[in-house]
């Protein structure tokens, strides 16, 4: 419905280690993987049903890609179906139980673990994409870009709409508060300090510095992850079987969340709206905020009124960290035309299509050296490209929805002063005991 | 114990519609006054104004010498019996009887005592625990009466209390009400559209029409000397015969001629000169076979005529004859055994009523009776 | 001979009866009995919509009793039911008394007060989100008048904000029901009460309320069952937040079923809700029936 919730997203494991952690779920999945790709002779044909959420700009790119594909493979019919985002997951779950599965679905990376545990997704068909191995296939992408889509050494999806988080800040508000708009905060400590200076109560209502998302599960993970990881801790263990928010790092991160931002403020467009209106001077967001902010407030111009910068780090941090997420093209295990599905997905990875995605819709497909393309010149893309190598794309857990909801509860409780941070962290860990593993 | 009701200059308007037009009415202490009239004549509105549940436009209401025009209904010292009883459906008989006492914060023991006494009087001691829905129509009527009685009001208002009862029960309850009135000697303002009720129950009868009183008098006067055409036509069954007539002076007599019927009346017996056109009225029971006209009537004072019986209604004890007399329809009520198919009929001048065509009575033939001493 | 004819006729009648009843019976079986039975079965299983349901006996019910969120949602629901039903009914009755009298102005007011009930809940929720958001109408009034900020974002306030919308939304419906009930009461009973010396307040409690008992019970039944079933207002306005302050039972159930894929657990929750609602409805209708018997 709103562009924001569409993108609010993300999840994934860091490399193969995380994926290996999923193996308890994946025992016996081997058969599934083998059977996936040879459902026909290797000739694209038939009908491919594609489900994706509504996104008008990308739809233009997609339609023209379909037209190009059909020129080369006239035997194939592509039937796209646009589904409102809030319904996509439920509709897919229902379709996957019955016999109505589509051939291709645009799926949030953070939901993959759940589908894969249920053996409802098909790994990439190597013949269809013309690769000899998954490693060779992964080499076609920027390093770390497929990490959240790889389980048990198989790749289950191809990234589309790939994102890391950023610091977004209002240049105009910085200037008013006597801060240098060209020197955004680089540490969380600075964020807190600037936030104080940016908080004012005037005729136009209260204005604040930093603002968190307090009610959106995906953002709870995207925001808390860099805080906890930057201190050297983890929210979830690498294999996703346990949680450790109730650690000095987790507790400190929660306390930090409570120390800045104002959970009482609201806006019909959530934090994006507050930032667009200038009520909030800083927020964590994805690359889409460049256009989203402008769409909520035509007076807000990127590079002039507002800007973006890399995710802040703790002053004491030894390594950089950030958070990220991706959407992915996936193929259900019950799809009827799997080979052609993967073949078409592979076609969408063509440079011509990925450049158009970036240029027209601002969606990144992180194929190798994507950031060197002329269309990726923008500062926001270069920051993203830099952050990809160290970004945490989330730990894959099948019960992601429940985990993220509990994380949101913890943040809301601490920020509203309903619980001390250590109690909220412990409650989260307790709740996770019955959910993870 | 009870006191009178005075209605003075009461007027009621709904927008431009005048419902009650400057009414005056005195109900004496202990008097049973029946207000009768056709539907829509304003009689219920009058009663509701006296009760205080309908505001008036002008005038005043005095009960027991106290001006209660703007008093709350509960402070007027009245008891009211409604047409459909208006019992509290959710309360049992005891609760219905006691409701008004409790509203007036009467002491509990006293409430018990008076409920018991009233229940005895209305004969419902056995039914105190029943709800109205479990009672018969007559029993409900008695509860309504008991509820009005229990507070020992200064006056009773009864709004067509018998009209929801079937015929047999109505006769019985009518008797009970008359007896009740005699026992408590209460002032009763009684509204009805039923002339029999009004005539049998009322010490006096007020006939209402179009928001005005046509006549207020005792039943005999109302019947014998109706003040207007309306009163004459409204009371009595079958209805009074009316014929258009012309008058002419003949020496010291006045001749009244209505078609083939004609009477002479000594001019000295009239209150004054008659207009040329009048309406002559006589009741069906005064249309008698000519042979049976009471002896002693002055010659020429009875009109004799021949009529064809167009319709004959046989009622057992009597018969109603619809006579066609030269195109005029005249109704006669006779004892069944004297009714014949076609005889000469006669109507005595003492039974005549002359009316101005506009309504007011001009002369009643009964004036002649005093003269002849035949009847009083 | 005649007996034989009668027997043949009777059996033909019976066959016709069965034939006519079959479609309804099948409908009932397929769309009611089978799903209900399946829900009961699911409540004894662990089922994630993918693999086959796994029988776990009473585990779901045990887990339910042990889950703090379960008890939390019950508490939230009780507050919601009480906070939605009691003020709505009292307010509706207070408004219905003057509005039940005749008059053109009152008819117009009755229509006006019904408007919120006619607005789709989704649209109403959008309106109230704007009213409650920072800089919105409630926010501006609230900040200066009550010192309240964050109508939907403060966990201590959010539930009351939801309730205000719910009361606003359903008040008109109850007013109409009460007006209908009041107008059906015999008018002259009030006149009798006035002549008996009863003033407005006494008449209201001793004459109006007792006679309105059936309407009151009817409204109570639909209000309480509606409130217990109420999923949409909290879902649309706050999604159960902040910090699950508005996570009513049906929302807790929904989250378990569709967000967390715990269909077995959700089925157990649904059965519990069904039992509670059945018990409530039976109790309430028994009250009504007793009233009718009297």
DSSP letters along B35-67, please? EE--TTSSHHHHHHHHHTSS--SEEEEEETTEE
CATH of the domain at A272: 3.40.190.10
Residue A147 and residue A177 in one domain:
no
Using CB atoms, pick whichever of B48, B78, B86 lies closest to residue C189.
B86
Low-confidence residues in chain C, pLDDT < 70: 1-8, 143-148, 291-294
| C267 neighbors C273 (Cβ within 8 angstroms) | no
Q: Are residues A156 and A212 in the same domain?
A: no
Which of the residues B103, B118, B160 would you substitute to probe the C interface, choosing the one with the greatest number of C C-beta atoms within 10 Å?
A: B103
The tokens for A240 are 């996703």
Residues A183, A147 within the same domain:
no
State whether B288 and B342 are in the same domain: yes
Cβ distance B74 to C194 less than 8 Å, yes or no, reads: yes
Instruction: Judge whether B225 lies within some domain.
Output: no
- N-to-C CA span, chain C: 53
Tell me if C150 and A120 make a contact (CB, 8 A cut-off): no
Q: Are A209 and A260 in contact (CB under 8 A)?
A: yes
Check CB contact of B73 with chain C, cutoff 8 Å: yes
**A160 and A189 share a domain?**
no
Give the closest-approach CA distance of A264 to chain C in angstroms. 4
**Does one domain contain both A254 and A208?**
yes
Please tell me whether residues A423 and A311 are part of one structural domain: yes
* Cβ(A12)–Cβ(A325) below 8 Å: yes
* CA angle (C249 as vertex; C246, C251 as ends), nearest 5: 70
What are the chain C neighbours of A114 within 8 Å (beta carbons)? 261
Is residue B238 located within the same domain as residue B200? no
- The two tokens of residue C219 are 């409204």
Asked if B75's CB is within 8 angstroms of C197's CB, the reply is yes
Q: How many domains does chain B have?
A: 2
How far is Cα B348 from Cα B302, in angstroms, rounded to an integer?
Answer: 4
Give chains near C: 3+ CB pairs under 8 A: A, B
User: Which of these three, B165, B196, B217, is where a domain ends?
Assistant: B217
pLDDT band at B17 (very low <50, low <70, confident <90, very high): confident
- In what helix (H) or strand (E) does residue A86 lie, and over which residues does it extend? helix A85-97
Q: Please give the Cα distance from A18 to A392 (Å, whole number).
A: 11
Phi and psi (nearest 5°) for A100? -105, 20
- Name which residue leads in pLDDT, C259 or B298: C259
Q: In a structure prediction context, what are the per-residue pLDDT tens digits for chain A, which is 437 residues long?
A: 333 332 332 333 333 333 333 333 443 333 333 333 445 557 888 999 999 988 788 889 999 999 999 999 999 999 999 988 878 888 888 888 877 889 999 999 998 988 888 889 999 999 888 888 888 999 999 888 888 898 888 899 999 889 999 999 999 999 999 999 999 999 999 999 999 999 988 766 788 999 999 988 899 999 999 999 999 999 999 888 899 999 999 999 999 999 999 988 888 788 999 999 999 999 999 988 998 899 899 999 999 999 999 999 999 988 899 999 999 999 999 999 999 999 999 999 998 999 998 888 888 999 988 888 888 888 999 999 899 889 999 888 888 988 999 999 999 999 999 899 999 999 999 989 888 86
B164 and B279 part of one domain: no
From B72, B70, B22, select the one nearest B42 (Cα to Cα).
B22
Tokens linked to C224: 């309480």
Does A8 reside within a domain? no
Q: What is the CATH number of the domain that holds B368?
A: 2.40.50.140
Q: Which residue of C has its CA nearest to B99?
A: C196
Residues A295 and A301: their CA atoms lie apart, in Å, by 10
Q: Among A322-331, B55-64, B363-372, which is the least confidently predicted range?
A: B363-372
Same domain, B33 and B127: yes
Per-residue pLDDT at C5: 58
B49 touches chain C (CB under 8 A): no
Residues B201 and B312 grouped into a single domain: no
**CB-based contacts of C41: which residues, under 8 Å, 6+ apart?**
C53
A179 and A98 both lie in a single domain: no
Q: Which residue of B has its CA nearest to C186?
A: B86
Q: Is residue B223 part of a domain?
A: no
Do A303 and A381 share a structural domain? no
Q: Is residue B41 part of a domain?
A: yes
**Yes or no, beta carbons of A268 and C149 under 8 Å apart:** no
Q: Looking at the domain assignment, is residue B224 inside a domain?
A: no
Same domain, B248 and B361: yes
Do the domain assignments include residue A350?
Answer: yes
pLDDT at A10: 30
Residue C27 Cα, gap to closest chain A Cα (Å):
22
Say if A13 falls within a structural domain.
Answer: no
The average confidence (pLDDT) of chain B is: 86
Q: What is the 3-state secondary structure (H, E, C) of chain C?
A: CHHHHHHHHHHHHHHHHHHHHHHHHHHHHHHHHHHHHHHHHHCCEECCCCCCCEECCCHHHHHHHHCHHHHHHHHHHHHHHHHHHHHHHHHHHHHHHHHCCCCHHHHHHHHHHHHHHHCCHHHHHHHHHHHHCCCCHHHHHHHHHCCCCCCCCCCCCHHHHHHHHHHHHHHHHHHHHHHHHHHCCCHHHHHHHHHCCCCHHHHHHHHHHHHCHHHHHHHHHHHHHHHHCCCHHHHHHCCCCCCCCCCCHHHHHHHHHHHCCCHHHHHHHHHHHHHHHHHHHHHHHHHHHHHHHC
Interchain CB distance below 8 Å, C188 and B82: yes
Interchain pair C49, A118: CB under 8 A: yes
B150 lies in some domain: yes
Of A398, A402, A404, A416, which to mutate for an interface test with C (greatest number of C Cβ within 10 Å)? A416
Same structural domain, A316 and A422: yes
Q: Which residues of B touch C199 (CB under 8 A)?
A: 72, 74, 103
Range of the domain at A343: 33-164+325-392
- Inter-chain residue contact A97 with C129, CB threshold 8 Å: no
Last residue of a domain, one of B193, B217, B241: B217
- Alpha-carbon span B330 to B337, nearest angstrom: 19
Do residue A93 and residue A216 come from a single domain?
Answer: no
Sheet containing strand B5-14, edge to edge, reads B17-27, B5-14, B58-63, B66-67
Evaluate whether residue A277 is within a structural domain: yes
Which residues of chain C make contact with B75, given a CB cutoff of 8 A? 197
Same domain, residue pair B135 and B49: yes
Same domain (yes/no): B189, B306? no
**Which structural domain, as residue segments, surrounds residue B260?**
230-372
B131 with B10, same domain? yes
Are the C-beta atoms of residues B74 and B103 closer than 8 Å to each other? yes
Asked if residue A83 is part of any domain, the answer here is: yes
Residues B82 and B127 in one domain: yes
Q: Count CB pairs under 8 A between chains A and C.
A: 81
| Distance of alpha carbon A271 from the chain centroid | 17
Residue B266 confidence (pLDDT) above 50: yes
Relative to beta strand B5-14, strand B58-63 is: antiparallel
* CATH number assigned to the domain comprising residue B112: 3.40.50.300
CB contact under 8 A, B74 and C198: yes
Q: Please say which residue of B217, B252, B287 terminates a domain.
A: B217
Query: Same domain, yes or no, for B211 and B237?
Result: no
CA distance A266 to chain C (A): 5
Chains B and A touch (3+ CB pairs under 8 A): no
Say yes or no: A320 contacts chain C, CB-CB below 8 A. no
pLDDT digits (tens, 9 = 90+) for B105-152: 889 999 999 999 999 888 888 999 999 989 988 899 889 989 998 988
Q: Does A14 fall in a domain? A: no
Partners of C260 on chain A (C-beta within 8 Å) are: 399, 401-402
C169 touches chain A (CB under 8 A): no
For residue A208, being part of any structural domain is answered with yes
Tokens 């200059």, residue located: B9
What's the CA gap between A400 and A217, in Å, rounded?
A: 9
Question: Subunits that touch chain A (at least 3 Cβ pairs < 8 angstroms)?
Answer: C
Does residue A17 form part of some domain? no
Question: Would you say residue B187 lies in a domain?
Answer: yes
Both A73 and A92 in one domain: the answer is: yes
Greater confidence, B291 or A373?
A373
ipTM over 0.90: no
Mutate to test the interface with B, among C195, C199, C208 (most CBs of B within 10 A): C195
Check CB contact under 8 Å for C195 and B80.
yes
Q: Tell me what pLDDT residue A2 has.
A: 34
Residues B205, B236: one domain? no
The Cα–Cα gap between A188 and A310 comes to 12
A–C contact (≥3 CB pairs within 8 Å)?
Answer: yes
The total domain count for chain A is 2
From the list B89, B100, B131, the residue facing C196 with the nearest CB is B100
Q: Give yes or no: residues A319 and A329 share one domain.
A: no
Confidence of residue B368 (pLDDT cuts 50, 70, 90): confident
Q: In the prediction, which pLDDT does A11 show?
A: 31
């Amino acid at each position: 419905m709103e562009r924001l919730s569409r993108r609010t997203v993300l999840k994934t494991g860091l490399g193969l280690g995380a994926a290996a952690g999923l193996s308890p779920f994946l025992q016996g999945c081997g058969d599934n993987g083998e059977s996936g790709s040879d459902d026909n002779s290797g000739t694209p044909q038939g009908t491919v049903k594609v489900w994706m959420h509504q996104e008008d700009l990308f739809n233009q790119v997609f339609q023209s890609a379909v037209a190009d594909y059909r020129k080369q493979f006239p035997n194939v019919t592509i039937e796209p179906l646009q589904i409102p985002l809030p319904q996509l997951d439920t509709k897919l779950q229902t379709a996957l139980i019955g016999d109505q599965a589509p051939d291709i679905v645009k799926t949030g990376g953070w939901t993959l673990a759940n589908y894969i545990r249920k053996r409802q997704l098909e790994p990439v068909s190597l013949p269809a994409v013309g690769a000899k191995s998954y490693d060779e296939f992964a080499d076609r992408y920027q390093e770390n870009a497929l990490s959240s889509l790889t389980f048990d050494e198989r790749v289950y999806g191809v990234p589309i709409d790939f994102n890391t988080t950023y610091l977004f800040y209002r240049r105009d508000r910085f200037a008013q508060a006597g801060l240098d708009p060209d020197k955004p905060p680089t540490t969380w400590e600075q964020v807190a300090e600037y936030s104080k200076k940016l908080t004012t109560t005037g005729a136009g209502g209260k204005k604040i510095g930093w603002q968190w998302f307090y009610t959106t599960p995906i953002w709870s993970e995207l925001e808390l992850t860099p805080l906890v990881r930057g201190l050297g801790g983890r929210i979830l263990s690498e294999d996703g079987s346990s949680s450790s928010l109730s650690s000095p790092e987790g507790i400190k991160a929660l306390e930090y969340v409570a120390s800045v931002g104002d959970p009482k403020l609201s806006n019909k467009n959530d934090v994006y709206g507050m930032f667009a209106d200038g009520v909030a001077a800083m927020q964590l967001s994805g690359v889409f905020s460049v256009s989203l902010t402008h769409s909520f407030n035509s007076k807000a111009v990127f590079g002039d009124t507002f800007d973006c910068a890399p995710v802040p780090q703790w002053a004491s941090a030894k390594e950089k960290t950030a958070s990220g997420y991706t959407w992915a093209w996936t193929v259900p295990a019950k799809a009827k035309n799997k080979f052609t599905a993967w073949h078409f997905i592979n076609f969408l990875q063509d440079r011509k299509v990925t450049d158009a995605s970036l240029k027209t819709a601002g969606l990144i497909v992180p194929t190798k050296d994507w950031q060197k393309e002329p269309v990726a010149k923008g500062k926001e893309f270069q920051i993203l490209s830099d952050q990809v190598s160290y970004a945490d794309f989330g730990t894959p857990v099948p019960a992601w929805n429940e985990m993220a909801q509990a994380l949101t509860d913890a943040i809301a409780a601490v920020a509203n002063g309903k619980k001390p941070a250590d109690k909220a962290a412990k409650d989260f860990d307790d709740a996770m005991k019955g959910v993870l593993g | 114990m009870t006191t009178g009701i005075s209605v003075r200059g009461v007027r009621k308007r709904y927008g431009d519609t005048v419902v009650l037009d400057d009414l005056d009415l005195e109900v004496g202490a202990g008097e049973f006054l029946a207000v009768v009239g056709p539907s829509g004549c304003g009689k219920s509105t009058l009663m509701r104004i006296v009760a205080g549940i309908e505001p008036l436009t002008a005038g005043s209401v005095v009960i027991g010498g106290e001006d209660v025009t703007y008093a709350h209904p509960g402070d007027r010292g009245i008891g009211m019996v409604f047409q459909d009883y208006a019992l509290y459906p959710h309360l049992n008989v005891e609760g219905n009887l006691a409701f008004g006492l409790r509203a007036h914060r009467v002491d509990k023991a006293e409430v018990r005592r008076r409920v018991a006494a009233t229940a005895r009087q209305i004969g419902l001691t056995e039914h105190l625990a029943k709800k109205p829905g479990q009672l018969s129509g007559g029993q409900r009527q008695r509860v309504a009466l008991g509820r009005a009685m229990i507070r020992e009001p200064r006056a009773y208002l009864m709004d067509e209390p018998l009209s929801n009862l079937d015929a047999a029960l109505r006769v019985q309850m009518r008797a009970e009400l008359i007896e009740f009135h005699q026992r408590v000697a209460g002032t009763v303002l009684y509204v009805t559209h039923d002339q029999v009720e009004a005539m049998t129950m009322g010490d006096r009868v007020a006939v209402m029409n179009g928001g005005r009183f046509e006549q207020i008098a005792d039943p005999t006067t109302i019947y014998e000397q109706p003040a207007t055409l309306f009163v004459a036509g409204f009371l009595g069954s079958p209805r009074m015969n009316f014929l258009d007539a012309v008058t002419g002076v003949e020496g010291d007599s006045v001749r009244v001629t209505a078609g083939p019927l004609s009477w002479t009346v000594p001019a000295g017996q009239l209150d004054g000169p008659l207009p040329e056109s009048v309406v002559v009225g006589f009741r069906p029971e005064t249309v008698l076979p000519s042979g049976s006209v009471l002896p002693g009537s002055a010659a020429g004072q009875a009109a004799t005529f021949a009529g064809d019986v167009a319709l004959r209604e046989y009622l057992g004890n009597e018969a109603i004859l619809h006579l066609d007399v030269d195109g005029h329809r005249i109704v006669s009520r006779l004892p069944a055994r004297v009714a014949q198919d076609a005889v000469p009929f006669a109507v005595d001048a003492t039974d005549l009523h002359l009316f101005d065509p506009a309504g007011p009575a001009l002369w009643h033939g009964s004036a002649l009776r005093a003269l002849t001493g035949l009847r009083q | 001979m005649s007996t034989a004819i009668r027997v043949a006729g009777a059996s033909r009648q019976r066959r016709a009866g069965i034939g006519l009843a079959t479609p309804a019976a099948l409908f009932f079986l397929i769309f009611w009995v089978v799903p209900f039975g399946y829900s009961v079965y699911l409540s004894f299983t662990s089922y994630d919509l993918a693999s086959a349901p796994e029988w776990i006996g009473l585990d779901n019910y045990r887990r339910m009793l042990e889950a703090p969120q379960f008890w939390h949602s019950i508490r939230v629901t009780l507050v919601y039911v009480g906070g939605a039903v009691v003020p709505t009914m009292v307010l509706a009755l207070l408004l219905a008394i003057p509005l039940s009298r005749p008059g053109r102005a009152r008819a117009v007011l009755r229509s006006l007060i019904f408007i919120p009930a006619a607005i789709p809940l989704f649209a109403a929720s959008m309106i109230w989100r704007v009213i409650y958001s920072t800089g919105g109408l409630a926010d501006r009034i609230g900040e200066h008048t009550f010192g309240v900020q964050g109508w939907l974002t403060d966990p201590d306030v959010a539930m009351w904000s939801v309730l205000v919308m719910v009361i606003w939304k359903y008040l008109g419906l109850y007013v109409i029901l009460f007006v209908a009930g009041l107008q059906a009461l015999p008018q002259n009973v009030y006149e009798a009460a006035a002549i008996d010396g009863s003033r407005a307040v006494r008449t209201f409690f001793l004459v109006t309320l007792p006679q309105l008992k059936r309407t009151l019970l009817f409204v109570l039944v639909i209000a309480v069952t509606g409130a217990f079933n109420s999923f949409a207002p909290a879902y649309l306005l706050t999604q159960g937040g902040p910090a699950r302050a508005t996570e009513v039972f049906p929302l807790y159930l929904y989250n378990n079923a569709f967000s967390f894929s715990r269909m077995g657990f959700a089925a157990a929750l649904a059965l519990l809700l069904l039992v509670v609602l059945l018990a409530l409805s039976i109790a309430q209708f028994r009250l009504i029936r007793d009233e009718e018997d009297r």
